Structure 1
């Protein structure tokens, strides 16, 4: 599987994590790591998400950026690793 790291900036809403994880699952990706931090202004959060799949990460990135509260999605890196599903 190929691991992809994404950096997502979004508005802080109680349901945003649920929506993000639902899109990740529906697009056939597995969450490996996730780190979330609140921005200094308190209205936004930044999420570092590491996912794994054989599918192109652009499919996931495009769908995540369509979510209402998501401000930006940036693909940081992708590495090929042996990951057991």
Structure 2
């Protein structure tokens, strides 16, 4: 199943690496990623689309523990996301 997440975190050089490591360790495949930093370079907003047969809560609980993460939001339920060919 595919899931879309929005993550807000403090901007740091190692943030993206940590998030990708958590996704890999939890068995989720990254389908899409988009990251933007706010105007004063302090907060990063990252949109991730991941795919796995595992429950998304296994990933969101671990991302929430990553140093610097402020919040995480599940954007869409799996039935609303369609894979493009």
Give TM-score, length-normalised by structure 2.
0.89
2:53 maps to 54
2:4 maps to 5
Question: Gaps spanning 5+ residues in structure 2: where?
Answer: none
- 2:39 and 2:83 map into 1 onto residues whose CA distance is 37
- 2:70 and 2:83 map into 1 onto residues whose CA distance is 32
> Over aligned residues, Cα RMSD in angstroms?
1.6
Q: Shift in Å at residue 42 of structure 1?
A: 1.2
CA deviations 1:27-64 (Å, max 9, x no partner) are 00000000000112311100000000000001100000
The ranges of structure 1 where at least 4 consecutive aligned residues each deviate by more than 6 angstroms after the TM superposition are none
More strand by share: 1
Give TM-score, length-normalised by structure 1.
0.89
1:34 maps to 33
- Number of residue pairs the alignment of both structures matches: 82
Q: Shift in Å at residue 16 of structure 1?
A: 0.5
